[in-house]
Amino acid sequence: MFSYVDLFAGVGGFHAALGSLGGTCVFSSEIDAEATKVYEQNWKTRVSGDIVALTQDQMAVPVHDVLAAGFPCQPFSKSGYQRGMEETRGTLFWNISRVLKERRPGVIVLENVRNLAGPRHTHTWRVIVTTLRDLGYKVSGVPTVFSPHLLPPHRGGRPQTRDRVFITGTYVGPDRAWAESVDEPLVENRPVDGWNPLEWNLVEHLPVVEDSTDRSEYRLSASEVDMINTWDEFVQLVRPRVPHGKLPGFPIWADSFDVTPRITAQTPDWKADFLRKNSDFYTRHQSVIDDWLHRHNHLRDLPASRRKLEWQAQDATSLWDTVMHLRPSGIRAKKATYVPALVAITQTSIIGSLGRRLTPREAARLQGLPDWFDFGDQGDAASYKQMGNGVNVGAAYFILREHILGDIDNVRAVAPDLADAALASPENPDERLQAAPVHVKAKSLA
C-alpha cells in the first residue's frame, strides 16, 4: 500500500481520491479550523496546522510516496526567475518545494485555479516548472487544465464545470527531468470517452433530492421569486421575436435600454460595446420592452444587480427551466445540464425547476464526496465555502491515475506500491468511495 501526504487539505478532496486509489494518508495539513474539524471527523486522520511552521525550521512531514497539494497561488517576484527555488521564498510553494527536496516522494499532484495557466501568470508558471525540474521532477511545461463535467458518470465525473490546473510529476532526477520533460498537457481539456457534457442531468446524475423533505431554508424568498418571475415574463415576451428563439448572449442591461447609447469619451471600450448592443436590442423590440418595463415600474424596485440578465441557457423556454446564479453582476441563467463552478462565496446555484438552491449535500456530491461525508453541526455558509475551495474528487483521481499509468515504468522505479495500486484500480473512484469510508485505510486519530 502506498503512502501519501495531503497538504492544504481543505476537507479532504485529495484524501478521497488517493484513498480510493488504495493509499494511506500519513500526514495532512490545513490552517482553517472549521475545515480541519470536518476533515478529522470524516477521515479519522489527525490534521496538522500551518504548513509554514511545519517545514521552516524542522521538517515535520514524514517520508511518503505521493505528495498532493491544492496550494494557494501567491505571486512570485519578477526580478529573477532564474533563481529557481530561492525565488519561491515567501510563498507557500516554497514550503512544498522544501518537502520535495527533503523527502523526495516518487510522484506529485498539485492543483490550482484556472488562472494559473493564464497570460498574467506566465512568470509564476515558469518559476513553478523550473523549480520542480531542478528538484528532479519530470513535469510538463504546458499546464493541464481539466473539469469534472468532461468525465462521464462511469468515470467519476460530475455535472459541474470547474476548470482547474493540475501539475503532475515523477521523480527521475534533475538531469533526466530537464531532458525528458515534455511541453504538452497530460490530458486534453475536452470530453473523455466520447462523453457529451450536454447529456448531464442534475436530477438523474447528481442526483438532486426531489422528495418531500422540508427544505424551506434553501427555497427562494418571496422577493427572489418575484424578481425571477419579472424576468421570466421578459423571456416569454421577447423569445418568440428573436431569431431562432434564442436570446442574445451578451448581458442584457435594463438600465441601458436607450434608443441612443449613453457613451462618453470616458466609457471603457468593453462597456461601450455592451451599451451599443443593448441599445440595438432595445430599439428592435421597443414596444414590447416598454410595456414590460411599465408594468414593473421600470425595475426600480429591484437592486441594480438584479436589473441585468445574462442568458446562457440556449433554447430553454423559461427561467424556471434553467440553473440560475444571482451574481453581483446580474442574474446568470444556464441550461439545466451541468452547473457553474462552486465558489467560496454565497452564489449557490438555483435549480429553477425546484425553486431552491443546491443544498450542502448536493454541493458535496458535485465535488465527488460520498453521501456518508458529514459536515457535522457547522453552518451552511462554512460548508458551501469548503466545497467552493475544494478539489473535485473525480477529476483529481482521473488526472493522477492517468499520470501513473502513462509513466508506469518510472513510477514503478520510485514507488512500486503506487504503480501496483494504479494498475489494480477501477476507472471510477465511486466504486470504492461510496461503498465504505476511505478512512478505514487511514492513520487513526487514536
Ramachandran assignment for 192, one of left (phi > 0), alpha (psi -120 to 50 degrees), beta (any other): beta
Reduced to 3 states, what is the DSSP secondary structure of residue 311?
A: strand
* pLDDT confidence of residue 80: 47
Residue-level length of the chain: 446
SS3 (DSSP) at 81: helix
Query: Is pLDDT at 435 greater than 80 in this prediction?
Result: no
pLDDT higher than 50, residue 410: yes
Q: pLDDT value at position 403?
A: 98
CA 208, distance to chain mean position in Å, is 19
Pick the catalytic residue: 53, 59, 73, 343? 73
Amino acid at the residue 273: D
For the cut 70, the answer to whether the pLDDT of residue 79 exceeds it is: no
Q: What is the pLDDT of residues 118-162, one digit of tens each?
A: 888 888 899 899 999 999 999 999 999 999 999 999 999 999 999
Give residue 436's pLDDT: 62
Grid cell at residue 148: 469534472
Quote the pLDDT of residue 117.
83
Q: In what order do the strands lie in the sheet with 356-357?
A: 252-253, 308-312, 330-335, 322-327, 350-351, 356-357
Q: Are 338 and 160 in contact (CB under 8 A)?
A: yes
Mean pLDDT, to the nearest integer, of 94-118?
Answer: 93
Cell 442526483, residue?
Answer: 207
Domains of the chain with bracketed CATH: 3-197+389-441 (3.40.50.150), 210-358 (no CATH)
pLDDT at 121: 83
Q: Shortest CA distance to 386 belongs to which of 39, 6, 113?
A: 39
Task: Indicate if the pLDDT at residue 445 is higher than 50.
Answer: no
The pLDDT assigned to 333 comes to 94
Q: What is the pLDDT of residue 347?
A: 74
At residue 28, does pLDDT exceed 80?
Answer: yes
CA distance 241 to 277: 16
Q: What is the DSSP string of 408-443?
A: HHHHHHH-HHHHHHHHH--S-THHHHTTS-GGGGSP
Q: Does residue 440 register a pLDDT over 50?
A: no
Query: Rounded mean pLDDT of 19-34?
Result: 96
Q: Which of the four pLDDT bands, split at 50, 70 and 90, describes residue 329?
A: confident
73 included as an active-site residue = yes
pLDDT at res. 381: 92
Environment class of 78 (CB within 10 Å of its CB; exposed 0-12, middle 13-18, buried 19+): exposed
- pLDDT, one tens digit per residue, over 187-224 is 999 999 999 999 998 888 888 876 545 567 899 999 99
With a cut of 70, say whether residue 81 has pLDDT above it.
no
Is residue 243's pLDDT more than 50?
Answer: yes
- Does the bond joining 119 to the residue before it have cis omega, within 30 degrees of 0? no
Q: What angle do CA 113, 116, 117 make, to 5 degrees?
A: 115
Using the predicted structure, report yes or no on whether residue 327 has a pLDDT greater than 90. no
Cβ proximity of 359 and 215 under 8 Å: yes
The fraction of the chain above a pLDDT of 90, given in percent, is 76
Q: What share of the chain is helix, strand, coil (3-state, %, to 5)?
A: 45, 15, 40
pLDDT in tens, 47-57: 999 999 999 88
User: Torsions phi, psi of 204, nearest 5?
Assistant: -80, -45
The average confidence (pLDDT) of the chain is: 90
| Residues 17/70, Cβ–Cβ less than 8 Å | no
Mean pLDDT of 232-257: 92
In the predicted model, is pLDDT for residue 86 greater than 60? no
Q: Work out the end-to-end distance of the chain between its first and last CA atoms, rounded to an integer number of angstroms.
A: 21
Q: 347 is written with which cell numbers?
A: 452564489
Question: 201 vs 420, which has greater pLDDT?
Answer: 420
Tell me the C-alpha distance between 288 and 51, whole Å. Answer: 60
Percent of the chain exceeding pLDDT 70 equals 92
Q: What's the pLDDT score for residue 13?
A: 97
